A = this chain, B = another copy of it.
Amino acid sequence: MENAVPHRLYLKEDQIPTQWYNLRADMPEPPDPIRLPNGEIAEPEQLAPVFCDELVRQELDDETAYYDIPEPVREMYKIYRPSPLCRAYNLERALGTPAKIYYKFEGNNTSGSHKLNSAIAQAYYAKAQELTDITTETGAGQWGTALAEAADHFGLNLDVFMVKCSYEQKPFRRNIMETFSANVTPSPSDTTEIGKKMLAENPDSSGSLGTAISEAVERALNVPENKGRYTLGSVLNQVVLHQSIIGLESYEAFKELGEYPDIVIGCAGGGSNLGGLIAPFMRDKIKGIHPDTRFIAVEPASCPSLTRGRYAYDFADTGKTCPLAKMYTLGSGFLPSPDHAGGLRYHGMSPIVSKLKADGYLDAVAVKQTDIFAAAVEFARLETILPAPESAHAIFQAMEEAKRCAETGEEKTILFGLTGTGYFDMVAYDAYNRGEMTDHIPTDEELEVGFASIPSIPGVQ
């Protein structure tokens, strides 16, 4: 007995997309422009000290729908792409659902996640501009690992500022980055001015993504001869552009199967995986080709930017050194509970995803981490992939939708993004298995503390 649809559908190597897709070009209204703290719209030359020239162009370009993927980038993609579109037959059976559950699996590379898709692009453009150094921050470590691989491949020096609590709790993540020649520093550190300032205020700080970003930007700006740039693994428009490869391959695979998803689900921290996964399907919705497709962003209840945040201009970083983007935000001063193990702990959200949510094209739900680990364990037992906690948010919601179909009898086709593996998250799995994991849902008062850090911008907000 063979299933008509294979458990794992791999496209051929020559079906790897040759172009990324820029959803902004087809949005009824593009996201609001990036601004400086004084309210002015950011010009390319103002971003150029921080990002490579080509990435600045991509960041600010709302018009070009398709970008050629440079050949060296595509050549590296071929080592681990196309990634499979998987049919979760075992999960369907276990849920007794008539729904078809598909997932796009992005964890099949040493970095363990989809982050490599943008890391390769960002490292390539830095090299093409003859830079010597790139810098970044990492929290859970997926982005840092991916960038370490990419920087190593293209022969760039890489400084990673790793949020201190992760640096201490995840030594193996650090080891793997060091295996790829990266220089990893716990943040806050005494190697930058902003780090020194944070340490002076709070010597025992366990760090935050916002602080690590500020340190990485400062480091990039201080590389001699203007040869350093900063890179970011999510949130930015350029990252969503690169991650469109996830959606484009999924789209092509569905075409081969003669199917189309009714529901597309992604976890949302900074929003890049979600934005990339949904891109071509959202294009079809916007153009009226498939107007009824439903899109769901799944975020942690402990860091609920889309469901409880404000849609406002805010800084990407705690140090308030970056330009501002209009996005759903909890305020750069918001810090998720230290009990939060499920990743996706960023205060803001991709401006593209935010705009789609604000304009009603996308729904968002927030889920508790104990629920997402329950879903993760059930999924691992059925599908032989141990998911990253981040990915488990999407798994949870896909299971919810499939259960609904079991009740109504609807044969919906569900697609979710399985962004990565959880091999470096076993401390959290262990806590869950022992029944020692707790949930922390911020009170309205706790959210107000974060909201107070959202800046007021002359003439804008």
Contact = CB atoms under 8 A, between A and B. Distances in A.
Contact of A384 (B13, B111, B429): B111
Given A79-B90, A175-B426, A426-B175, A116 B384 contact: yes
B384 A80 contact: yes
A383 interface: yes
A433 interface: yes
Given A429-B179, A433-B175, A433-B178, A384 B8 contact: no
B176 A78 contact: no
A172 B173 CA distance: 13
A197 to B, nearest CB: 32
Contacts of A153: 381
A367 interface: no
Interface in A69-97: 71, 78-80, 90
Contact of A8 (B3, B13, B71): B13
Interface in A148-183: 149, 152-153, 171-172, 175-176, 178-181
Q: Is the interface of A mostly helix, strand, loop or mixed?
A: helix
Copies of this chain per assembly = 2
A106 to B, nearest CB: 13
A424 interface: yes
Interface in A108-125: 108-112, 116
Most buried by B among A171, A179, A181: A179
A386 B79 CA distance: 13
A2 B3 CA distance: 31
A440 to B, nearest CB: 23
Contacts of A13: 2-3, 6-8
Contacts of A383: 79
A423 interface: yes
A385 B110 contact: yes
B1 A14 contact: no
A377 B181 CA distance: 10
Interface in A257-280: none
A180 B380 contact: yes
6 contacts: A6-B12, A109-B385, A153-B381, A171-B426, A176-B386, A421-B423
Interface of A: 1-3, 6-8, 10, 12-14, 71, 78-80, 90, 108-112, 116, 149, 152-153, 171-172, 175-176, 178-181, 377, 380-381, 383-386, 421, 423-424, 426-427, 429-430, 433
Given A79-B384, A110-B385, 12 more contacts: A1-B71, A3-B13, A6-B12, A6-B78, A7-B13, A7-B78, A8-B13, A10-B10, A171-B426, A175-B429, A176-B429, A178-B430
